[in-house]
Structure 1
């Protein structure tokens, strides 16, 4: 552990990067203590969790700005770096390591290159990333110039101002990320009984991260809802928690759906989908239905994502090619076969690559190519300070 220690505060090196449409703290693994209670306290204190304003830390008061990447040289021969993702809650004293974040993953390659963990090769450096949360290998193709990751470029992504250098993230190896199976229950669609007496069809799919899918219309929704519509609707948040909880029980992530927030805070995500439509975006723009193949809204930690999780997009794309799934059902014939799926999310449209071939597996397909393009930019290098009173408290407890 590399740090600057004084009587009152512990200083630790950190970088802030925007990865895709998320922003997070990036640490070198050797600058942190080993996984455990002390590391957890340091990461939460660095972010300012728990506090809805995260006023005493570096967090940005949204889940998409309360993310952490821990990066070091890999112990695996088939990878260049090990990368651990951590999701810090905002108003609860929780940090979760159960899944990955595709947007934050997009910053790992540039961060590793600039930190000297990976040899820079012009014009494109392939960084093999071992995500320790899922045990899967991600491959980032990062543009490089003069030994550094390129920042500027013409590529634009919805939800991020301006343009940047395109980084392609290959997620072909991420099937069965949490459970080892694309269809953890063996079914493309199954029935879920709700406490209010309704019966809905859901699809539980595990690619990149585990998601439970439901059609928006089955919940009395349109599919074009924005974060403020969802996050302030107590009844709707409660309903999505119930769906998430009951899916978690089926996955053995939890033993009581009512305790899902305590037993598995992050996974599974809930995604409600609908056929394409024109809608107003979260940033005040407008998306035309002809530019998307479906609408998708992703809920994690009981909040609606302001854009689209990269891992969520991979799971949506995978489900779109599984005949009989909820996602497959909202697509037209052309959208089911095109190699690019266009996902309409709250801040615009995300294009993802998905190419499949027939398979004897329960899902009926093999994923030959699965990925998406992002941009990333380092915003700051510096030192984050953690009050020593918190460090000593945990250290005394562990000893």
Structure 2
């Protein structure tokens, strides 16, 4: 055989899409694993023409599942971000949108047995150590993808998947504020460097001469902005204790502006070398936390909710995303949990092929 066949499920999870694998069906060592994933998704070409990637960062994501040996979790979720145009795989971050499909995929793979009309699945995000409780619809013990829940950037409706994120503060750097400051100044721009579910460098859109309401396409075309943003991101990564981040998709970058469509605040999120067409689930938790924390760059851009849990509505290029944040601000900002509602749908299943020269299986 000149090719190696690997079983997979193909799911849309939230506003992302990609293959979901049983971890046992993939090579153990990280270097070979990266080569297999790049071959499977066609990394290194803008259309991913020689693989099943979709030519965008939100469609070159990979989930790898296994039964967890953690005392709390049922399923371990190992995430990989495969580059579109470069031969590069980043195992550092996680993805909350892809996580939306982990519960259904675990049931599809036989790793979880449905129980009742709604099945609770405890998921450990291996990359960051975050714990997430997923609630999957399983009427009469059978998995369903059909329902009435709509999310921005996804056509139609589907069954709701509730996600409650716990233990996400300092998930990558070990600290809520990795630099120790509510604000830092880099290249004349004030930023808040925060790590909640995803480490993000957050700034005000106006400080870059932007409104914060630009479309993803308009921002992607602004090469001068991206050059300045990347320089700030690299310096911020070093200050956050993350070292040289020039080849890493973390920390991400976010912009804030006053809401204009009835939300709490307007946001733009970068992955980081292009603009997210909507909003990342992990990114939404960090941006919502920044929004609720006095002294950050969000000051003056909104009227902060005073109750907890607070429903923070983030406006993004394709609509809005709501984050229910349970927090305590009696002594600074302490995040207890963040809840979101997502959907997922199985699109295909079968075997994906990679050259035997990459991995013999």
Q: TM-score range by the shorter chain?
A: over 0.9
Structure 2 residue aligned with 1:379: 347
Q: How many residues align?
A: 361
Structure 1 residue aligned with 2:181: 187
Structure 1 residue aligned with 2:301: 330
Select the residue among 256, 259, 274 that pairs with 1:303.
274
Contact (CA 8 Å) 1:321, 1:356: kept in 2 or not? no
The gaps in structure 2 that reach 5 residues or longer are none
Quote the RMSD (CA, aligned, Å). Answer: 1.6
Cα deviation, 1:242-280, whole Å, max 9, x if unaligned, reads 12111101012224xxxx322xx1100100110012xxx
Structure 2 residue aligned with 1:248: 237
SS at 1:104 equivalent: helix
Q: Following the alignment from structure 2 to structure 1, what is the Cα–Cα distance between the partners of residues 173 and 40?
A: 31
SS at 1:171 equivalent: strand
- What does residue range 249-328 of structure 1 map to in structure 2 within 5 Å? 249-255=238-244, 260-262=245-247, 265-277=248-260, 289-290=261-262, 292-328=263-299
- What does residue range 123-142 of structure 1 map to in structure 2 within 5 Å? 123-142=117-136
State which drifts further: 319-328 or 307-316. Answer: 319-328
Does residue 209 of structure 1 match 2:194? Answer: no
SS at 1:109 equivalent: helix
Structure 2 residue aligned with 1:167: 161
Q: 1:336 to 1:99 in 2, by over 3 A?
A: farther
Structure 2 residue aligned with 1:234: 223
Shift of 1:84: 0.5
SS at 2:101 equivalent: helix
Q: Following the alignment from structure 1 to structure 2, what is the Cα–Cα distance between the partners of residues 380 and 85?
A: 19
Shift of 1:293: 1.4
Contact (CA 8 Å) 1:168, 1:373: kept in 2 or not? yes
SS at 1:352 equivalent: strand
Structure 2 residue aligned with 1:41: 35
Q: Following the alignment from structure 1 to structure 2, what is the Cα–Cα distance between the partners of residues 168 and 348?
A: 19
Cα deviation, 1:178-210, whole Å, max 9, x if unaligned, reads 112111122211222x2xxxx121101101010
Q: Following the alignment from structure 2 to structure 1, what is the Cα–Cα distance between the partners of residues 99 and 12?
A: 10
Structure 2 residue aligned with 1:389: 357
Q: Following the alignment from structure 1 to structure 2, what is the Cα–Cα distance between the partners of residues 329 and 173?
A: 29
Select the residue among 297, 316, 319 that pairs with 1:348.
319
- What does residue range 72-151 of structure 1 map to in structure 2 within 5 Å? 72-151=66-145
TM-score, normalised by the number of residues in structure 1: 0.87
Which portions of structure 1, spanning 4 or more consecutive aligned residues, are displaced by more than 3 angstroms? 333-338
The gaps in structure 1 that reach 5 residues or longer are 1-5, 278-288
Does residue 26 of structure 1 match 2:20? Answer: yes
Structure 1 residue aligned with 2:47: 53
Q: Following the alignment from structure 2 to structure 1, what is the Cα–Cα distance between the partners of residues 330 and 110?
A: 41
